[in-house]
Each structure stands twice: as C-alpha cells, then as structure tokens.
Structure 1
Amino acid sequence: MKSNKPRYMDEREKLRRFRELDDAFSQALRDLEGSSKRRQQENEKDLKHEFEQRLRGLMDDFQQSDTSVHTLLLTLLELGKIS
C-alpha cells in the first residue's frame, strides 16, 4: 500500500532540477536572440533591396547615371544635408 506522506526531494535533487531548468531557460533565450537577429538581418536585406530597386527606377526615370548620383550624394554629405 502506498504511503500518503508527501515525498520530499533532497537538496542535491533540488539543485540538479534547478540547474536543468536554468539551462533550458538559457537555451531558450539564446534561441530567441538568434532567431530575432536572423529576422532583423533578413528585414534589413529586404529594405536595402527595396531601396535599391526604387533608386534604380528613379535613376532610369530621370536618366541619371551611377556616377552622377554618386556625385550628388557626396555633395549632399559634404554640405551636411544628409548623414
């Protein structure tokens, strides 16, 4: 027959379980950070690609070369109009 006494864990068992829980929590946080960084990098790539497409479209519309746009951007940077 089973005893109705509550079963108590010894201190070693408590520490072992706590370490397992702590390790699992740490791993979950690392996984979250990793996936968050990957998503952020993917978003940045998408934004950069979108910007480049829009810029190329404008350059085509206004018949501007890479060199003229580069010169314009350098001038704006030197004048402090963009950073």
Structure 2
Amino acid sequence: MDEREKLRKFRELDDAFAQALRDLDGGSRSGRSVEAEPENTLPAFEERLHSLMAEYELSQSCVHEMLSTLLEYKRIR
C-alpha cells in the first residue's frame, strides 16, 4: 500500500470515528463527556469502533497511536 492510499484510509477512518463520536453524543455539541452518556450507548459505540477497526484492519495499538496523535495536535479534546 503506498503512502497516498494509507493517507486516504486514515482520513476515512478519522471521518468514521468522528461520526461515531457524534452519534454517541446524539449529534449535539453540548459538551457532555462520554462518562455522562447513558450506559447503553457505550456498547453501541464500542461495537462500531471494533467494526471500524476490523474493516480497516487496525490493531488497538494503531488506533491508540492515531488518537494520541489527534490529541497531540489538538484535533480532538
């Protein structure tokens, strides 16, 4: 896989992850944290995350690295 293809897949995953977070938050920007969400939404989020990881063949360490990078560059809070 060339660098362009890797970047495209990363962007797709980033978009899908962002959408999963918006879905978890109910699409609002109310500033609520994940801990403030009802417990029944967490399994749905985890299921979606694991599905994305399987679809893009990503390990937990790869996703952790991606999230750490996004946090480092203040792309997510």
Residue identity matched to 1:49: P
TM-score by length of 2: 0.51
| Alignment deviations for residues 31-52 of structure 1 (CA, whole Å, 9 cap, x no partner) | xxxxxxxxxx9x6211111100
Structure 1 residue 59 corresponds to structure 2 residue 20:
no
Alignment correspondent of 1:47: 41
Q: Secondary structure at the match of 1:44?
A: coil
* Alpha-carbon displacement from aligned partner over 1:12-67 (angstroms, at most 9, x marks no partner): xxxxxxxxxxxxxxxxxxxxxxxxxxxxx9x6211111100000000000000000
Long gaps (5+) in structure 2: 1-34
More helix by share: 1
Letter of the structure 1 residue corresponding to residue 60 of structure 2: D
Q: Does 1:70 align with 2:67?
A: no
Give the TM-score of the pair, scaled to structure 1: 0.47
Larger of the two Rg values belongs to structure: 1
Higher relative contact order (CA 8 A, sep 6+): 2
RMSD after superposition:
1.6
5+ residue gaps in structure 1?
Answer: 1-40
